[in-house]
Amino acid sequence: MQPTELGRVAVLMGGTSAERDISLMSGAGVLQALQGLGVDAHAFDPRDQDIAELQRQGFQRCFIALHGRHGEDGTVQGALELMGIPYTGSGVMASAIAMDKVMTKRVWRAEGLPTPRWVRLAPEQQDREAVMAVPGVLGLPLIVKPPHEGSSIGVSKVSGAGDVGQQMQDAVRLSARHDPVVLCEEFIEGPELTCPVLGEGDAARALPVVRIVPPEAGYDYENKYFTDAVQYLCPSGLSAEEEAEVQRITLAAYRTLGCRGWGRADLMLRARDRRPFLLEMNTSPGMTSHSLVPMSARAAGISYEALCLELLRTARLGH
């Protein structure tokens, strides 16, 4: 199908999540790429327009460049299903599960896939006694994060140096500002990796692995998107066997969740035994100038424009 035959396309960007600014950057890149290829593409911000306008304005398919809640969590996907407008990326169920890091880990653990040990703290389990019990279960250091956010928003590392109790309380409070449920996770010491996937089911394929080398300040929101302090290595520098194992686990994690279209798994490679551990699956990955799916695609010989077009061509309904 030629670009001009894809019909009137809405690039969904912005939205209402904490990742709004990143989504606007992703959407702008996608929009420019699609328009440059001759696609009749238009920006659409669900924060500023009623989602039903998509149907009223005659859009025939949607490229979802929304990140986080009300964009990556199955809600927009459900609305598009009801309106009968095909869309890029995973369907309602896979999007909803992948947006919930605790549920994702439960599914992966049930399927025998490696993910760091965790403790879930519901709102009624965040008193000092319950919070102080977590390091005894997971050890130190550990990670505290909101399970329904991305882009490192609300994430803390509790190192164990100094007043652990105060560190834990501060980390839980920060996370709880973004999500009533708090996820505490075992810290895996070693290289941080990410691996994108394109396609669906048996036809899904893993792209080259990217190794992330953060500065001493860490791989936080600011360094992810607004500085050049982070090094991204693609080729990753892993051995051929390690790269293949990361890709194998990523594909298994993607298929287990029922993802389609595209996605990106974040992983840690444990230094002491070189074993990979799955952290999360992103079902609407970033498409900014700092984003990792376009970087990996380039290493596989796929340009940014070709990637956007390939993803748009996969747009469909769940049923």
List the catalytic residues. Answer: 19, 151, 225, 264, 266, 280, 282, 286
Structure tokens at 26: 């992703």
With beta carbons less than 8 A apart as the criterion, state whether 243 and 161 touch: no
Q: Give the C-alpha separation, 173 to 319, whole Å.
A: 41
Structure tokens at 304: 């940014």
Nearest residue to 209 via CA among 295, 291, 116, 104? 295
Q: Give the C-alpha separation, 105 to 86, whole Å.
A: 29
The string over 142-177, giving b where at least 16 C-beta atoms fall within 10 Å of a residue's C-beta and e elsewhere, is: bbbbbbbbbbbbbbbebeeeeebeebbbebbebbbe
Q: Which residues pair with 183 in a beta bridge?
A: 120, 145
Nearest residue to 80 via CA among 151, 9, 148? 9
Question: How many CB atoms lie under 10 A from the CB of residue 120?
Answer: 16
Q: Which amino acid is at 19?
A: E
Q: Give the C-alpha separation, 184 to 168, whole Å.
A: 10
Structure tokens at 197: 């996937």
Q: Which residues pair with 212 in a beta bridge?
A: 192, 232
Q: Which amino acid is at 211?
A: R
Q: Give the C-alpha separation, 182 to 251, whole Å.
A: 27
